[in-house]
Amino acid sequence: VSTTVLCGGVGAARFLRGLIEVVGQSTVTAVVNVGDDTVLHGLHVSPDLDTVTYTLADAIDPERGWGLAHESWHAMEVLARYGNPTWFNLGDRDLATHIVRTERLRAGAPLSSVTDHIARSWGLSLRLLPVTDDPLRTMVTIDDADTGPREIEFQEYFVGRRHDVPVTAVRFDGAEATTPAPGVAEAIGAAATVVIAPSNPVVSIGPLLAVPGVREAVTARRDHAVAVSPIVAGAALKGPADRMLRELGHEVSVVGIARLYAPLAATLVIDTADAHRAGEVEAEGMACVVADTVMRDVDRAAGVAEVVLEHG
């Protein structure tokens, strides 16, 4: 039986790592956000694709949750000497990924085939797909204390500003002109189970659904779609999902998540910490499954994956 997972960064990567413990890689497709992508030093960086690749290859730096383990930063030292921006840290080993991605894109290869080459080079056999091969950039409008409202690229918000500035709007630049990457629509249409991973609903899952055809493809599979709440006891386990949801007017709880996901998935998996709100989740039209969803290690992630597969 096949599983297709809609993914963002760290939370999705951890879930996938557990999923492949349970079902292996050959029946799994990951459809990954590219709205976080950025160009730095002339290199195309795809953070969510790389976080998934490195995590599944057991090559991720466990403390940072992004980039490679056993990293060094010598290139950054020399780039700083040349006056290049150093607010976004690119390790010496990680740079090889961006060099190869950039040279292949420049030679005309689509992002999906470049991603496939990189994943296979790390020994992965699951299908790892960017949601689209076309340009798509998440833009965030922040309420800057000095300059007032202004729109910036996602990484400038997330890393540059350490996401500690209020967000008033999020936009997926270029989305209307994109098409799903080859295999994306089929992977959603044919999967026994479609999973919305525990990623940021606004800036990780949002860009996926903004690609024309993707939201419709997921909705068509609603009865076999399962979402895992990225909010536990009113907070995100990592990143700004809770703040962004609040700033954009959503309830920051499993009920708020159910309101967002009810049209897309028949089932929401929530953490035991939120068990007392299961009835309210069901009142939003989703079946509610209570489980231990904090993926502290691969075994716990495998446990979450088993719960998801039971309800797909």
Q: Which residues bind ligand FO1 (CB under 6 A)?
A: 8-10, 36, 45, 47-48, 50-51, 66-67, 88-90, 94, 155, 158-159
- Is 67 or 230 the residue whose CB approaches ligand FO1 more closely? 67
- The nearest distance, CB 36 to ligand FO1, in angstroms, is 4
Which residue number, 165 or 273, has a Cβ lying nearer to ligand FO1? 165
Q: Which is nearer to ligand FO1, 4 or 155 (CB)?
A: 155
| Closest CB 153 distance from ligand FO1, rounded Å | 11
Which residue pairs, CB below 8 angstroms and at least 24 apart, start in 117-126?
118/49, 118/53, 119/53, 122/53, 122/54, 122/56, 122/57, 122/59, 123/57, 124/25, 124/53, 124/56, 124/57, 125/25, 125/26, 126/16, 126/20, 126/25, 126/26, 126/28, 126/29, 126/30, 126/56
Minimum Å gap between C-beta 106 and ligand FO1 is 19
Question: How big is the chain by its Cα radius of gyration, in Å?
Answer: 19
Quote the CA–CA distance of 167 and 162 in Å, as a whole number: 12
CB 126 to ligand FO1: min, Å? 19
Least separation in angstroms between residue 109's CB and ligand FO1 is 20
Q: Give the chain's length.
A: 312
Number of H helices, E strands in the chain: 13, 14
| Residue with Cβ nearer ligand FO1 (51 or 115) | 51
Residue number, 88 or 122, with CB nearest to ligand FO1: 88
Query: Residue of minimal CB distance from ligand FO1?
Result: 9
